[in-house]
A and B are shown apart, each in its own frame.
Chain A
Amino acid sequence: MPNQSPLHFSLRQLSSALQTKKISSVELTQLYLERIAAYNPTLNAYITTNAEMSLAQARHADARLAKNNSHALPVISNLTGIPIAQKDIFCAKEWRTTCGSKMLENFIAPYDAHVIQQFNEAGAVNLGKTNMDEFAMGSSNETSYFGAVKNPWNHNVVPGGSSGGSAVAVAARLCAAATGTDTGGSIRQPAALCGISGIKPTYGVVSRYGMIAFASSLDQAGPMARSAEDLALMLNTMAGFDERDSTSLQRPPENYLRDIDSPAAGKPLSGLRIGLPQEFFAEGLSDDVAQAVAAAVVEYQKLGATVVNISLPNSKLSIPVYYVIAPAEASSNLSRFDGVRYGYRAKEYSDLTDMYQKSRAQGFGAEVKRRIMIGTYVLSHGYYDAYYVQAQKIRRLIAQDFDNAFKQCDVIMGPSAPGTAFNIGEKSDDPVAMYLQDIYTIAVNLAGLPGMSIPAGFGKNKLPIGLQIIGNYFSEAQMLNVAHRYQQATDWHTRMPPNILNDRGALT
């Protein structure tokens, strides 16, 4: 049987291999740690690894797997023993948690984020903390204080961002699956650019507690993995009400695999209405991506879906609206990084004000400072009404557009990003060109809707293209099924970047 290596296993296959003792969690963790040691110096997907801590968790998981059904240890879950990469935005107890910033270069988190806690309780292994744009502000991973991340499909191009490290870790098989966060497209765009799957759930489905805030009303965590099925398994662990987050939604637990696991007779997606927003196929979209998305839609029609043309008339305003609201919230959220209690403090300063100014000037990178300044400006006396209040009004209009659209269709499809991955350095001097990377994803955050990206082909440059699927509120199980059926019929999601399997890591 080809592809015997656990590197190619789905999470369910991995879980089964672990439960039937075909492999131990320690062996699996070792395998990934060795791969990280081999590839990370080039790819820079991880900011921090800690073999000792990861292996301790793996040993504990093996004990749990060995004594399954005994009362001494918690029951095993689908993720027990599986090594997961965590975006370095989640506080994990005793782990360095940097958020990609010099400001937190030496910050050891004293507590676990809710997401981390959920994975720990499930018995997953924390494989390390992945690289990201500084404070999740960026679409290329170039703003990280810890250096750019390379796209495994081509080391000269970016992996996207801000969850670039997680996307690369998944694509290059440096973890079984990973977590990301998405404020304006930070899960979907890097997933698209790296040829993997990622979902941003409905705002409030995953607790934000312990996730370092960028823009509180937009931030949402979600999984990044190799398939929709893996995403569903991950989301089962990540989602859930948390009383420590006031925006967390109190809903009964869901099984996100339920639609995937229900048998389909005949055409699996018959009756599904796919909305295609005209605004997503206008100027600015590359031909490669347009063609790949069109081909995917044809594939969906073969699976039984029908197509409706829809319009999201206010979506063109989503970038300006986002770049008022997100920086406004960020300017305030990042005020706690003042050099007083933790984090970077300037070595020399003359007084309190000087300490604040120097610590923040030296501790934050250019993009973070740019957004703090924009945010401070739009909240200032005399500008607040013209910017912030207006932006909130338009935000409601954008959400209204989606409400109207979902009267005509079940899911919306379009591109995840306007093009394939661009060269490292290509857009770093042009913030607006960089911001346009998220033109198709941002409206989803503004409306609080779930959105995902799945691989749907390659450009002429042999770089991956992502298909975006947007669902109505709480329709994650349906969306994951829509993605899953496509992945059953196609093999884009199984394609691997070249040269990521060396003789050591390739096969066990």
Chain B
Amino acid sequence: MTWEIVIGLEIHTQLSTQSKIFSGASTAFGAEPNTQACAVDIALPGVLPVLNKGAVERAIKFGLAVGAQIASRSVFARKNYFYPDLPKGYQISQFDQPVVGQGALTIQVEPLSGNEKPYEKVVRITRAHLEEDAGKSLHEVFRDFSGKGLTGVDLNRAGTPLLEIVSEPDMRSAAEAVAYAKATHSLVRWIDICDGNMQEGSFRCDANVSVRRMGEEKLGTRREIKNLNSFKFLQQAIEYEAQWQIDTLESGGKIQQATVLFDADKIETRAMRSKEDAHDYRYFPDPDLLPLEILPQWIEEIRRGMHESRESMRKRFIEEYHFEPYMANSLVADRDRAVYFDSFWKHYIPMVVGKEDSAVSGANWAMIEIGAMLNLSGLSITQTPITPEAFAVLVARIVDGTISHKIAKEVFGYMWAGEGSADAIIEAKGLKQVSDVGALEKIIDEVIAANPAQLAEYRAGKEKVFGFFVGLSMKASKGKANPTQLNDILKRKLAP
């Protein structure tokens, strides 16, 4: 019997606003408990919510990025339930009228088993809505006088803006779910609406998992795995859950709709509450907030201010710059890097006309070199002291033979230190490669003359000695010799 796994994800992304969705308190992570909770966040009597425009703007950006309809009118609703980390006794969310409607995301799936090929898939997005986060319960952190564990409540997180992105049940494996989660993660960072920090809880997934017999059209009963905050847990939880459901059904059991938690230590899922004791949240429109009206002009303004999409850039890199798909994929994994190299490339191409073969390896060198330097310095690509244009000149000097890779590395160091442009540094420090055959022959003649014993060894068949002569000649040229020419001349002169 073969089974089909059906997965839909609800992803909570924390929006990167400075202040909370309905109050002026800061959203910064890691402050002392309850120091970033104002009167509104702790729900003092009489306080009222005021919507943060920045949160709406980010939701609109997301909607545009997934080609969704932005609702001209959406409504905030109250989701009522009691819990100590929910100060008002209700969460302000959106229910039947969300700000972002149906959209879609194209994902690249890397199957988990090595023998399948990567493929592309479109996952439909049902909706995305704005809501506030709850606070955090700190269990067993405090003790009373008798030593009994107490639960504390930290409301710093309460009121943090979230965009909940709900997908259709379009995924058919843990690999697809992970690919979709990763694509979403990369997208929200690409469009600058979320920092994507999963350790700090800025990006969390709930997975709705069901199974059905292959060919069956009706969906099976689903169970929802809550709060998965790493791609690894997402994969493990879905794999475990799907297998558990299959085993249960195959042994004649039935699946009950339920909410389950994933235990990362035991790598298993456990039911938290069943449908029977599910809350009745008594949603109704929040009378403290007017319906959210979004004018087309505002949407257009946001659209104009948005970066080129990742997919468009990826395609352009492959089609215009003839990058290998893997290389294009790697470049667009981070928007700042992609933007930097896009600009680099635009300056670089006209400088290396006619030398396209070595141009690509030059660009590869550039990416590796700057990556290493950024790692070393701890800077991000937006902070690099070398502009894409200046960097393009340096790499072009390798391609046109002015300097070797080795010298280029040296020049790169000087540029990083702010000593000027590549050409100015090469000129000032006399680093231009010596390609003058006469000058090279003279240097080589002197080296050979000074080392008769080694010459004899080489001519007796000890070819390793060739490297000895290369090293000495290069040293004598102060590293400026064109390595290819040096090799050619040496081979000729050393020949018996």
Could you list which residues of chain A lie within 8 angstroms of chain B, going by C-beta atoms? 90-91, 97, 99, 104, 107, 109-111, 113, 208-213, 215-217, 243-247, 328-329, 331-332, 334-338, 340-342, 352, 356, 376, 379-381, 384, 388
Contacts and interface: CB of A to CB of B under 8 A. Distances in A.
B141 to A, nearest CB: 16
A217 B49 CA distance: 14
Contact of B46 (A210, A352, A380, A384): A210
B290 interface: yes
Given A329-B287, A381-B280, A336 B46 contact: no
- Most chain A CB neighbours (cut-off 10 Å) among B283, B284, B290: B284
Question: Which residue, of A246, A329, A331, has the highest number of chain B Cβ atoms within 10 A?
Answer: A246
A328 B284 contact: yes
Interface stretch (B82-90, B102-110, B201-209, B469-477): B82-90
Given A244-B50, A338-B89, A91 B44 contact: yes
B47 interface: yes
Nearest to B89: A335
Interface in B34-74: 39, 42-51
Interface in B280-331: 280, 282-284, 287-290
9 contacts: A90-B46, A109-B46, A213-B46, A215-B287, A244-B48, A246-B50, A246-B290, A356-B82, A380-B282
Given A247-B288, A328-B284, A335 B45 contact: no
Nearest 5 interchain pairs by C-beta: A335-B89, A379-B282, A216-B287, A217-B287, A210-B46
B47 to A, nearest CB: 7
A341 B284 contact: no
Given A99-B45, A336-B88, A111 B50 contact: no
Given A246-B50, A332-B282, A97 B45 contact: yes
Given A335-B89, A336-B87, A379-B80, A384 B284 contact: yes
Given A335-B88, A342-B44, 7 more contacts: A107-B45, A217-B287, A245-B50, A332-B89, A335-B80, A335-B90, A336-B43
Contacts of A334: 89
B82 A338 contact: yes
Contacts of B280: 380-381
Contact of A246 (B44, B45, B51): B51
A340 B84 contact: yes
B127 interface: no
Contacts of A215: 287
User: Chain B interface mostly helix, strand, loop or mixed?
Assistant: loop
A137 to B, nearest CB: 15
Interface string B312-352: 00000000000000000000000000000000000000000
Contacts of A356: 82
A475 B45 CA distance: 31
A332 B46 contact: no
Interface residues of B, number: 28
Interface string B138-172: 00000000000000010000000000000000000
A246 B49 contact: yes
Contacts of A90: 46
A186 to B, nearest CB: 16
B185 interface: no
Nearest to A99: B45
Contact of B48 (A246, A328, A342): A246
B45 A336 contact: yes
A341 B43 contact: yes
B78 interface: yes
B56 to A, nearest CB: 13
Nearest to A209: B48
A199 B43 CA distance: 29
A372 to B, nearest CB: 11
Contacts of B45: 91, 97, 99, 104, 107, 109, 212-213, 336-337
Contacts of A211: 46
A245 B48 contact: yes
A208 B44 contact: no
B84 A352 contact: yes
Nearest to B42: A341
A133 to B, nearest CB: 16
Nearest to B78: A332
Contacts of B283: 379, 384
Contacts of B90: 332, 335
Given A332-B90, A338-B82, A379-B80, A247 B290 contact: yes
A52 B451 CA distance: 105
B81 to A, nearest CB: 9
Nearest to A329: B287
B87 A246 contact: no
Nearest to A342: B44
Contact of A332 (B48, B80, B153): B80
